[in-house]
Amino acid sequence: MTQLIIGLARTENEAIIMLNKVKEEGIKDKYLGAVAKEQLNLELVSEKTGLPKPLKGAGTDGAFGALKGILAGLGKRMDQTMSIGNAVRRLAGNEIGSETDDLVLTLTEAGISEEDARYYEDWLLKDHILVIVECSEEEAARVRPILLF
């Protein structure tokens, strides 16, 4: 059964170390990813790990785009996520902050508890990074200690 293992990195360098160590354990790039607020340097993480360039997401489509426009007009710009890696493509462009449940809903749809999803959102709001690995139960036993250092 596939699992999502999430590591909490305080800096780009911590994320780079985590991702490279997970790769040393034989996890392929397509099962790796990182998520951060827009302004963090995921370009550096991408460059140093060989993962794809950061994605910011559409962010202006449909009803969510209209809501973002209204909030921007009221001076309430919400932060957005950006991501690197195929494992977390859906997390690019998610809104984070008190005005939205965008990221929380996406994470809960992926099987993360709402409590954990809110914790991860708070982590991102503190300008930190989520390192995410999609793996089997057997691989999770090797990956978990790396992401929880």
Give residue-wise pLDDT tens across range 89-118: 888 888 898 778 889 999 999 889 999 999
Whole-model pTM? 0.84
What is the 3-state composition of the chain as percent helix, strand, coil, each rounded to the nearest 5?
Answer: 50, 20, 30
With H, G, I as helix, E, B as strand and everything else as coil, classify residue 101: coil
101 token code pair? 């449940």
Residue 116, number of CB atoms within 10 A of its CB: 13
- Would you say residue 58 has pLDDT above 80? no
**Which of 105, 108, 110, 59 has the alpha carbon at shortest distance from 80?**
59
pLDDT band per the 50, 70, 90 thresholds, residue 62 = very low
Task: Give the model confidence (pLDDT) of 77-93 as tens digits.
Answer: 568 899 999 888 888 88
Task: Please say whether the beta carbons of 108 and 114 come within 8 A.
Answer: yes
Give the residue with greater pLDDT, 36 vs 71.
36
